[in-house]
Amino acid sequence: MGSRTKGGGLLLPLVLVGGIGVVAYQNGLLDGVLDDGVERITIDDVSFVVADDAASSVERCTKEQIVSDRVCDERHVLLVDAAKMPFIARNTNLAWSDGHPGILTMNRSKQNTNRAAACPRSFPRPHGGSCDEYPMASTDQGGAGARAEEVPTRENLCQGGSYGRQYPKDGEDFLVVIINPDDIASEPFTGTDIAKEQGSC
């Protein structure tokens, strides 16, 4: 149902077929962000970024299933909104480029242990932010080896509320999907909150 762009290539606008098309994607639009292991999928007028292992599932779904229903290919969908959380979206995206999966398994019992391994108290926060880890601590895939990066504290608080409402039951797999991918932060957090939407989560 969707069209894919892989690894930061050049894709010009295509004619819409059956209501699905590819938006203009210039080389360098996400320079240094959309790398190997990550794909951009456009369904109707909405673009998403997903890990390679989740791409085939996501492109089988409609925009409404992903954005409104939050269920795609019989799995829950966790939307990471880059307009609200550009640095968390960056860390998620780069984790996929490092080979971490886009399909995760919920396991709240591992949360404290995984968080201590990925984001210990000693984790450097030179700009007064918070530690974000991907895969998330509340999944089987989280913990030691997760990619961690400093993000604005506002984003971490936003993430807690937003993700908590989207998480499935323990033991269930879910898809992680980035929406508004043009708003993914291209550089690490240096103390300035650059989110376009900072007022709501």
Strands (E), the chain: 3-6, 38-43, 46-51, 71-72, 75-81, 103-105, 130-134, 147-151, 173-179
| CA–CA dist 188, 124 (Å, integer) | 13
Return the half-sphere exposure (C-beta side, CA atoms, 13 A cut-off) of residue 98.
Answer: 13
Tell me the per-residue pLDDT of 22-55, one tens digit each, with 9 for 90 and over.
333 332 334 334 568 999 999 999 999 999 999 9
- If pLDDT is split at 50, 70 and 90, which confidence band does 64 have? very high
State which amino acid sits at residue 7.
G
Q: Are 193 and 154 spatial neighbours (Cβ–Cβ below 8 Å)?
A: yes
Which of 9-13, 73-77, 134-138 has the least mean pLDDT? 9-13
| CA–CA dist 170, 127 (Å, integer) | 34
Residue 33 confidence (pLDDT): 42
